Amino acid sequence: MTEAPPKQAPEVLVSVKKNVGRITLNRPKALHALTLSMCETMIETLLEWQADPEIDMVMIDHSGERGFCAGGDIRMLAESGAGDGVKARKFFHTEYRLNHLLFHYDRPVVAIMDGVVMGGGVGISMPAHYRIATERTTFAMPETGIGLFPDVGGGWYLPRLPGKAGLWLALTGARIKGADCMRLGIATHFIEFGAVEGLKKAILADHRRIDETLRMYRADAGKAPLLGFEQDLNRLFVGDSVEEIFEFLEADSCDWGKAQLAVLKTKSPQTLKVAFEQLKRGEAMTDFAEHMAMEYRIGSRVVQRPDFIEGVRAVIVDKDNAPRWNPPTIEAVDDADIQAIFAPLPPEEEWTPLADA
């Protein structure tokens, strides 16, 4: 008699305690990277809770200790992009609906941003009313390093951060810790990692006292490293184009600027220009749904472009970290080509939000 294969754990754990709905990401080996089914489960759950008058609050956290959410299923996106792109577009369409649903959710949402918070993890935490960081939090939008772009609402949130920090994060893919997340308003509260479980239990025990509970668990994040280069950042990441930023960095003598230039030269030139345009347009928009429709247009095209396929090969598959970008330089990127990435799709292919959101 053969043994039955072990039952696979759900990728998302859903529970309700008292009046709090809890969504726990449960792919610890993949750093809880989002799959299509995870996004679908979260949407279905959130819509059910939205229709339930007994649910007063939602908490989003993760199992294990490795991190909140490292992004999306990049390998799937690259494999799909190398073919017809259908699966990739379906994933983006669904994920962006989840992002939009959370953005307009009518109950307070608590996101426990402990550990890695990147890409897709940013998209499900930034809309939350309470965004809780720890000393283990590592926040980043590293997409320019793989020929993608800072999506999941990145073009909305990043240009609304203080100064030019959002543009710097978008272009360089810089990783920042909890203290900097507090400095920039990415996180609303900071607690020590050792207190996370106690905090969650306290919120679940009496969600009505959440503000008092957060004050009780509050910890000192320490001095934000950003303070050491904030002036340089806001002085150098200005201009009307990526080319101008390169010029400012090349002309400057400070070590920090030289380091940023070296980082930028490793990124996809096409994606740098896409991200710059994305944040510029996103900052001017007033409707989040309109913004996500723009990001879907970008995503549905960029995912099938050579730089994304090559970036995933170099960083995730072969791990030689030596991508051969095409075009290879900022100057060689055709501006008309960038504008075409932002052009409307045929009406039947455009992104739309959930009717219930």
Q: What CA–CA distance (Å, rounded) separates 344 from 349?
A: 9
Which one from 21, 67, 71, 72 is the annotated catalytic residue? Answer: 72
Which residue in the list 143, 180, 277, 310 is annotated as catalytic?
Answer: 143
In order of their start, the domains of the chain are 12-349 (3.90.226.10)
Q: Is the peptide bond before 327 cis (omega within 30 degrees of 0)?
A: yes
Model pLDDT for residues 252-262, shown as the tens digit of each residue: 999 999 999 99
What does pLDDT average to over the chain? 95
Residue 156 tokens read as 């909305």
Helix axis angle, 255-264 to 165-172, nearest 10°: 50
- The encoded tokens of residue 219 equal 């910890």
Residue-wise pLDDT tens digits, 67-110: 899 999 898 999 999 999 999 999 999 999 999 999 999 999 99
Q: Tell me the whole-structure pTM to 2 decimals.
A: 0.96
pLDDT in tens, 221-276: 999 999 999 999 999 999 899 999 999 999 999 999 999 999 999 999 999 999 99
The letter for the amino acid at 85 is G
CA dihedral 321, 11, 151, 259 (to 10 degrees): -40
Q: Is 85 a catalytic residue?
A: no
356 annotated active-site: no
Q: What is the DSSP string of 215-236?
A: HHH-------GGGGTHHHHHHH
Q: Is 72 a catalytic residue?
A: yes
- The residue from 73, 151, 277, 295 that is catalytic is 151
From the candidates 67, 71, 115, 120, give the one annotated as an active-site residue: 120
pLDDT at residue 357, as a whole number: 63
In tens, the pLDDT along 301-353 reads 999 999 999 999 999 999 999 999 999 999 999 999 999 999 999 999 999 99
